[in-house]
Amino acid sequence: MSERFSVRPEQLSRAGATVELESRYVDRITYLLGTEAVPKSDFVGLMGELREPIETLMTKTRDRYDQRQTTLHMTGDELRSLAKVYQENEDNNSRRFREGGAPGGHDQNRPGDPGMPMGPYVQNLPDLTAPEAKTADVKAIVEDTMSWLADVNGAIKDLIGWDAIEEGMKPLLGNWEELTRIGQVYGKSGTGIEAAGKEFSTTTVALKPTWDGQAASAFDDYAANLAGAMQGEGPLMRVLEKSMAKLAKQIEEMVRTACKTIQEKLKEEVDTSSVWAWLKLLAKKIPIVGWVLQGARIIQILWQVYEKVNEIIDQIEKTIALLKEIIAFAQNPEQYLQGAADAKIAELKKKMDDAQATAELGVDIASLPAAVPAIVKAPKDSYSGGFGADPWKDAQ
């Protein structure tokens, strides 16, 4: 069934101006990502493995959002340009009619007549204030433990060949709160562009009754894909935010456990002051007679500490590997899924289940199978109403 061409240029102009305002908001999101979704402090030790993936994530996500911003801006500009063309055509027809000529099409008010465009409008969009940077309390605990170990670490190394500071503590030194902060930046960005997508959808739906024909029909399809892609970013980025917060918290707990193990394990079977005195003397190469039995117990305890701390470091490395996979998914959903969306998302969800990190994700993780294909369908170019007579054609 064909759709006859008709248009109200003032509504089209208003919609275009609104879309341009929406594009400015998305531009603020890209700025937030570029300035805040980057490592700012203490990406050291094991945490240093995440620096490059996080920097790449920022670049890929910012570029994707920048494309949305450009697309929105150019689309808004095209709508306003079309409105001007339509208005000029109506004005020419109206003038010819008043001069006694035959009208060439839809009549419209002339500039200055009642019913000219109202200003654009944009509803309240989410706040984009950057989240506050914090220092994880476990960082101080690690530093305290390193200080605590400093004058006996040489003796421990002599006894069991393990450098408790270099191999046990320094890998844990990172400011893991940075992961939470960066995740919050992505949460704000995703929720912001999702809201802008909903606003864009509202704008285009309101335009629909005032514009018919081939150009309008093409715009309906285009706008639906663009709005869907923007809205799909919301659940994707909230999954990233909550995953980073949950896994960072898990890592902090592991770090806390490692420090507690080192500081308290020696108290289980022997008096701490005696152990420390013995280790300090050993570190100074002073021979001790009569401590053989206690020394054997200390060596056994040190091996237990070594095994526990290494086990925790292995767990942290597995958690970091999961974080890298989530980051790879978020930075390029299309490439990550490669045509097997449901299976890949189910596999990722299982890994997060195994890490006990799924409960907080709630409805967002359930929304991913629909959200990701919508992101993939995002238009690559801005909307065009066509050339020559195209903007006035009926829809077939």
Question: Phi, psi (5° rounding) for residue 85?
Answer: -65, -45
Q: Which residue has the tokens 């959808």?
A: 201
Helices (H) and strands (E) in the chain, counts: 11, 2
pLDDT of 88 above 70: yes
Let me know: does 117 contact 10? Beta carbons within 8 Å: yes
**Model confidence at 396, in pLDDT bands (50, 70, 90)?**
low
Query: Are the beta carbons of 280 and 272 closer than 8 angstroms?
Result: no
**What is the per-residue pLDDT across 173-191, written as a single tens digit (0 to 9) for each?**
999 999 999 999 999 999 9
In this predicted structure, the answer to whether residue 172 has a pLDDT above a threshold of 80 is: yes
Placement of tokens 């500039």 in the chain: 111
Q: What is the pLDDT of residues 242-268, one digit of tens each?
A: 999 989 999 999 999 999 988 887 655
Is the pLDDT score of 101 beyond 60?
no
269 is written with which tokens?
Answer: 């079977």
Measure the CA–CA gap between 120 and 290, rounded to whole angstroms.
Answer: 88
Three-class SS of 307-376: HHHHHHHHHHHHHHHHHHHHHHHHHCHHHHHCCCHHHHHHHHHHHHHHCCCCHHHHHHHHHHHHHHHHHH
pLDDT per position as a tens digit, 207-241 = 999 999 999 999 999 999 999 999 999 999 999 99
**pLDDT over threshold 50, residue 99:** no
Q: DSSP labels for 137-199?
A: HHHHHHHHHHHHHTTTHHHHHHHHS--IIIIIIGGG-S-THHHHHHHHHHHHHHHHHHHHHHH
pLDDT of residue 344: 73
Nearest to 121 by CA among 227, 19, 230: 19
